[in-house]
Amino acid sequence: MRPVVVAANWKMHTGPDDAGELARTIARRTAEPSVVRVICPPFVSLAAVRDALAVEDPRVAVGAQTIHHELQGAYTGEVSAPMLAGLATWVILGHSERRRDAGETDALVGRKLGRAVEAGLRPILCVGEQLEDRDAGRAESVVDGQLRCALAGHDPAGLEAAGLVIAYEPVWAIGTGRNARGADAAAMAEAIRAAAASAGWPGGAADLPVLYGGSVTSANIAEFLAEPAIDGALVGGASLKADEMAGIVARAGLTAQARLGPESAS
Ligand code: 13P
């Protein structure tokens, strides 16, 4: 059975002075034990969020938004996976904003994936097509290519043991207020599992969690979580608002409890 995950990608928002308070408020408003919650602040705010969550609710995990593909060296401004020890236990990889702004390729994302696993970080690997790809009917082939390239050379059993999560984030839906339709996101989630299965993922990739990301809010999360293929959300803008996160995680809790069965009802 796949977990239900709600991950907050704070992008370039919050500094050490305000991140802890926001994390604490979100943790308090989302205390749903059946949902895996992750908060991913900027690097400089990781320690503040870690400290705040340790007090408020240690069940909320801390994630970074990227890592470098090397362990150390002359890479000005970069942060490597081992440097996150004690600060984060998750990491977002291959976000489309990094593909766009930092020139990250699928192959580079694949190298980062290896670093994350070596360091014991749980990766959220982002894939997603551009609008012109969807309009041209090649969304699934683009995502299939991104996934295969990033997974190439990695032992699928090792990635599974590391808890790899895939986030399907159509680029045209990020920060635009225009979200994908639930059925389209679900079809892509199944295509992602099929691609992983054909790359050797154990068990036909039935256990591979796939999240949806792209203008997720408390008002539209139900459309995605009504789809059994979708296991949660990677939330951008709305994750900076405690009210929004409360609504999103509350809805995720319904899905998680339904998956766990009647014994889970408290
Ligand atoms: P928005 O929710 O702001 O569209 O961002 C989605 C995203 O990029 C999460 O990683």
Q: Catalytic residue among 32, 140, 169, 223, which?
A: 169
Q: Catalytic residue among 68, 95, 104, 223, which?
A: 95
DSSP states along 73-103: SS-TT---GGGGTTT-SEEEES-HHHHHHS-
Q: Is 66 in the pocket of ligand 1 (CB under 6 A)?
A: no
Q: Ligand 1 pocket: which of 215, 221, 248 to mutate (most atoms <8 Å of CB)?
A: 215
At position 198, the amino acid (one-letter code) is S
Active site residue 154: no
Q: Between residues 64 and 262, which one has the greater pLDDT?
A: 64
Active site residue 95: yes
Q: Is 94 in the pocket of ligand 1 (CB under 6 A)?
A: no
pLDDT digits (tens, 9 = 90+) for 229-243: 999 999 999 999 999
Taking the C-alpha atoms of residue 60 and residue 81, their distance in angstroms, rounded to an integer, is 20
Q: Is 108 in the pocket of ligand 1 (CB under 6 A)?
A: no
pLDDT digits (tens, 9 = 90+) for 70-109: 999 999 999 999 999 999 999 999 999 999 999 999 999 9
Taking the C-alpha atoms of residue 132 and residue 231, their distance in angstroms, rounded to an integer, is 26
Taking Cα atoms as reference points, which of 157, 84, 147 lies closest to residue 115?
Answer: 84
Burial zone of 57 (CB within 10 Å; 0-12 exposed, 13-18 middle, 19+ buried): middle
pLDDT digits (tens, 9 = 90+) for 114-169: 999 999 999 999 999 999 999 999 999 999 999 999 999 999 999 999 999 999 99
Residue bearing tokens 């990695």: 154
pLDDT band at 264 (very low <50, low <70, confident <90, very high): low
Q: Which atom of ligand 1 is nearest to the CA of 174?
A: 4
Predicted confidence (pLDDT) at residue 266 exceeds the cutoff of 60: no
- Dihedral through CA 242, CA 229, CA 118, CA 110, nearest 10? -100
Q: Is 244 in the pocket of ligand 1 (CB under 6 A)?
A: no
Can you list the pairs that 83-89 forms with residues at least 24 positions away whose Cβ atoms lie under 8 Å? Answer: 84/46, 84/119, 84/121, 85/119, 86/50, 87/46, 87/47, 87/50, 87/62, 88/40, 88/46, 88/50, 88/62, 88/63, 88/64, 88/121, 89/61, 89/62, 89/63, 89/120, 89/121, 89/122
